[in-house]
Structure 1
Amino acid sequence: MNGARKLAKNTVILFIAQFLGYILGFFYIIYCARYLGAENFGILSFAIAFTGIFGVFMDLGLSTFTTREVSKDKKLAGKFLGNTILIRSTLSSFIFLIIVIFVNIFQYPPVVKNIIYIITLSTVFAVAADIFNSIFQSYEKMEFRAIGQILNNFFLLLGALIAIIFKLNITGFAFAYLIANLLFFIYSAIACIRKFVLPKIEIDFYFWKWALLESIPISIAILFSIIIFRIDTVILALIKGNIAVGYYNASYKLIEALMVVPIVFSTAIYPVFSKLYVYSNDSLSFSYHKSFKYLVILGLPIAAGSVALSDQIILLIYGTEFIESSNALKILIWAIPIIYLTYIFRILLISINEQKLLLIILSICIIFNITTNIMLIPYFSYLGSSFATVLTEFLSLILSIYFISKNICKIEIKKIVIKPLIASFFVFIVANHFKNSLLVAILLSTLIYFGILFAMNTFSESDLIIFKKIFNRE
């Protein structure tokens, strides 16, 4: 299978899995938010954000590092798998203890403490599952990872429905996360051992030292990324309370769902970038340019259409109790086209061993993000957090473009962006006009968007060649 078709296969598989997973997750969020209400939904969201920040230290970038190295040499799979199991078991135990100490020092209410403990344990299993998912990714066999993601979200939704049927409290929803991630871990371990490689269980301290030294810059980059995504929720909870967190996260969960595109694409392209960096810089540059173009085309109309339809989207999903979240969505949605691009920049930098450059970008952004949240939240509450998120992502985009253009390869941004931007303006006009009929607005604006792109000759001959290679079965 040629490179274009393999990438397309993996991208489609992951997209279908993420799409199905997000549909399941979508219903989970609906049931969870409607049943728990803004305050309890805010507590659960806070616990997930809080443990997500600490969860990075359970992995320390070893999953990403394993994917990169095993992609280059499959013979290392068993050694990486066995050693990283031991490393992460040690790290997870230590971080769990740190979290227990932390939440007791800050004297959170008992219900919040219990939820944090349960979500932390579920994070331990999720991180453990990533050990095996990194092997699936390095072999470019994304179907195994995809099945695991679907199962994870299915059991999460099932747990929520059981909690509602038996009228359980917020603790029942937290246990849904724990059980879903435990089953996800069990599936991933069995699939990896049966289909790919047995872990070579050993204590190789030389390997541990090498792996940790190489992966720590990656882990810091991941940590900074997660802090940028999650710290707003933590700060908002401290300053404005759980109700504001509930309103904010109702919109933020929709943003996370829309991030399926860059997550899927970057997951599929990461091993490809890693190999091209070794064998062909020209092919790497070509792939980077095309990735940038396609993600711009996908990101801009989503933002434009969502601004027009924000009220209808929030009412449909959450009901009238969360209508205030629509204003946050109108702001937050502009992070989507930016995030689509920053994801591919970060994957590119990690693929070519430029983690230090990525750390510089993220260090600047995290300082900016925390500062803007602290400045804006007291005056604008969750809307301040929304502005801070978009501004931070925009700063990340500017810095990424600057550093990559200066040190790696330049890209003609205006030439790529102008046509999708014009077409997205018409998406907003059409969606706003037909906003009382959500399905009609989405379908009609999508047709008009791509019709305008084709009319303006947005897709070049090389784009058409790529599409033909992807769909050619001969």
Structure 2
Amino acid sequence: MSHSVMASNRRLLKNSAAVTLSVAIGGILVFLAMIILARYLGVEDFGIFSTLLAIVSLIQLFADGGMVNITIRDVARDNQSLNRYIGSTSIGLIMVSALLLLITGGVVYVADIPSKVGVSLLLMLLAQLCALQGLIFGAAIRAMEDMEITAFIGVVHKLMLVAAMWGTLELGGDLTAVCAANLIVNLIQTLWLQWVVHRKYGALVYRFDRTLWKTVFKDSLPLGISMVLRKLTVHLDILLLSVLATVFAVGLYSSAYRVLQLIETASIAFSGVMLPVLSQLAVQDKTRYAGMLNNVLTFMLAAAIPLAAWLWVASDNLVLALYGEDYKSAGQVLQVLGIGLIALIPASLLHPAFAAINEQKILMKLAIASLALNSVLGVILIWYFSYLGAAIGTAVTECVVFFTGLVILGKLGYGFRNLSKVLTILLSVCLTMLVYQLLPQQAGLLPELLRLSACIPVYLMCLFTLRVYSIRDIQLMLKKPNGNEQPVVNS
């Protein structure tokens, strides 16, 4: 293997390790912030916070419009365009963000929303739009594959967020004060990322380029619509619960969903690492693209299935340890949502997989179908089963969308051919869960995590003993696009 190929492999390994570690630490810190909010605010106020966050997240994605992912793709293909591309995209996003903020403020005023809720909504929206600017600067760094930088800044940002949430609430701050603290933390992160881009890659050209913007808008629109619809599907249950049920039900559902979100965030970040690689392979070598896609999907299923099994048996203990007695009814919700993880984790790879082959319209169609299905299931099931019905609807929708995506990839010539490995993964999980059940059970978070940690080596040993993965498989997954070897896809 040549020196350049070895260097490329080391860079991919470095990026994967940095992002994985960053997401693991950052996800835990965000989850800790949610626990702090849930305990300090109580079930009902936490339900209000969750509803506002759902609304703001949708508006932020509408402003994004898929431009962050398209920016990563295009800059990764043409590094020389970075300064002009990032600068123009940043200016365009500022214009869109200002318009959305103005519209939202008008709606708050006309709808005569209570001042506390209205001000909190606007502050939270401003914080999210500020973070979106940071994502554009971060996209430049990620496209250049210097992901350890964004990983480090991301962890520091989450540390500041936890400190800000705890300090604000400990000093007697309310929901509005929490949103203001979030805005300050996001502003610091955005300015930091901007400074890094200027220093490392040169000054950005902050000039609105109509031709460039038109191209970006055209390419990102299908992806952006799919992302908005996807996010709407994710938050739909919270929005439906706030209308069809009670704020208390929203709080219970949200507390369980935060556990799922912690895991989902890691899978999305990992998929983000694969976007530049898949984008290059799709252009250079479609055979290696198909092989890489199969191997990564198998890897993600190998992570998703045991997590789903663990949440099924440990949900009650986890909810009580994290949130306390007030949230004990959320244990059943976590069980059901855990089943959805089997599809949710590998489904995060669908976005980079389709974006890499310029099939963003398929993502949009999948998102529309997902939203429609979740809406129908949500209305029916929430009406009869409240927050538990919302969880069932989410789990069913995730499974349908994932398997539909696999079928479409197959029709495009990139079918999933590692079914035998998935069956072996299921066997490995069953053997591991037998060991898990034999270990002593104690209440509390630490004993539960220790019990889980003791089973991880058992599971890994099963995977390698049963030949789900070999060292060669891992090497091929880490191999950069300029390598010559092609991954072997098991039939």
TM-score, length of structure 2 as denominator length: 0.92
Measured against aligned partners, the alpha-carbon deviations of 1:32-71 in whole angstroms (never above 9, x if no partner) come to 1111110111111111111111111222211111111110
SS at structure 1 position matched to 2:349? helix
Residue 107 of structure 1 deviates from its aligned partner by 4.4
Which residue number in structure 1 is paired with residue 413 of structure 2?
408
Which residue number in structure 1 is paired with residue 52 of structure 2?
47
Runs of 5+ consecutive residues of structure 2 not aligned to the other structure: 1-5, 481-491
* Amino acid in the other structure paired with 1:457: R
Which residue number in structure 1 is paired with residue 212 of structure 2?
207
Residue 453 of structure 1 deviates from its aligned partner by 2.1
Measured against aligned partners, the alpha-carbon deviations of 1:425-461 in whole angstroms (never above 9, x if no partner) come to 2344443454324134202322222222233222246
Contact 1:308-1:431 within 8 A present in 2 as well: no
Distance 2:137 2:29 in 1: 23
Which residue number in structure 2 is paired with residue 455 of structure 1?
465
Which residue number in structure 1 is paired with residue 125 of structure 2?
120
Which residue number in structure 2 is paired with residue 286 of structure 1?
291
Contact 2:8-2:479 within 8 A present in 1 as well: no
- Does 2:427 align with 1:417? no
Contact 1:373-1:385 within 8 A present in 2 as well: yes
* Amino acid in the other structure paired with 2:63: M
C-alpha change, 1:127 and 1:151, in structure 2 (3 Å) is: same
Distance 1:95 1:72 in 2: 31
Residue 77 of structure 1 deviates from its aligned partner by 0.5
Distance 2:423 2:113 in 1: 49
- Does 2:395 align with 1:390? yes
C-alpha change, 1:110 and 1:380, in structure 2 (3 Å) is: farther
Residue 23 of structure 1 deviates from its aligned partner by 2.5
* Amino acid in the other structure paired with 2:389: G
SS at structure 1 position matched to 2:139? helix
Residue 197 of structure 1 deviates from its aligned partner by 3.1
Contact 2:47-2:254 within 8 A present in 1 as well: yes
Residues 25-104 of structure 1 aligned to structure 2 (within 5 Å): 25-104=30-109
Which residue number in structure 2 is paired with residue 310 of structure 1?
315
TM-score, length of structure 1 as denominator length: 0.95
Residue 121 of structure 1 deviates from its aligned partner by 0.7
SS at structure 1 position matched to 2:173? coil
SS at structure 1 position matched to 2:205? coil
Residue 166 of structure 1 deviates from its aligned partner by 0.8
Residue 365 of structure 1 deviates from its aligned partner by 0.9
Bigger Cα displacement from structure 2, 423-432 vs 266-275: 423-432
Contact 1:155-1:176 within 8 A present in 2 as well: no
C-alpha change, 1:170 and 1:354, in structure 2 (3 Å) is: same
Contact 2:140-2:197 within 8 A present in 1 as well: yes
Measured against aligned partners, the alpha-carbon deviations of 1:78-106 in whole angstroms (never above 9, x if no partner) come to 11111111110110011112222334455
Distance 2:349 2:93 in 1: 27
Distance 2:232 2:417 in 1: 31
Contact 2:61-2:227 within 8 A present in 1 as well: yes
Which residue number in structure 1 is paired with residue 339 of structure 2?
334
Distance 1:427 1:415 in 2: 19
Which residue number in structure 2 is paired with residue 435 of structure 1?
441
* Amino acid in the other structure paired with 1:303: A
- Does 2:454 align with 1:444? yes
Contact 1:312-1:435 within 8 A present in 2 as well: no
Bigger Cα displacement from structure 2, 270-279 vs 207-216: 207-216
Distance 1:364 1:394 in 2: 12
Q: Which of the numbers 152, 176, 196 marks the counterpart of 1:147? A: 152
Bigger Cα displacement from structure 2, 444-453 vs 129-138: 444-453
SS at structure 2 position matched to 1:188? helix
C-alpha change, 1:107 and 1:444, in structure 2 (3 Å) is: same
* Amino acid in the other structure paired with 2:464: F
SS at structure 2 position matched to 1:200? coil
Aligned residues: CA RMSD: 1.8
* Amino acid in the other structure paired with 2:462: I
Residues 107-256 of structure 1 aligned to structure 2 (within 5 Å): 107-256=112-261
Runs of 5+ consecutive residues of structure 1 not aligned to the other structure: none
Residue 175 of structure 1 deviates from its aligned partner by 1.9
Distance 2:226 2:79 in 1: 25
- Does 2:376 align with 1:371? yes
Contact 2:92-2:208 within 8 A present in 1 as well: no
Distance 2:50 2:467 in 1: 44
Q: Which of the numbers 358, 362, 366 marks the counterpart of 1:357? A: 362
Distance 2:210 2:425 in 1: 52
Distance 2:479 2:136 in 1: 33
Bigger Cα displacement from structure 2, 192-201 vs 42-51: 192-201
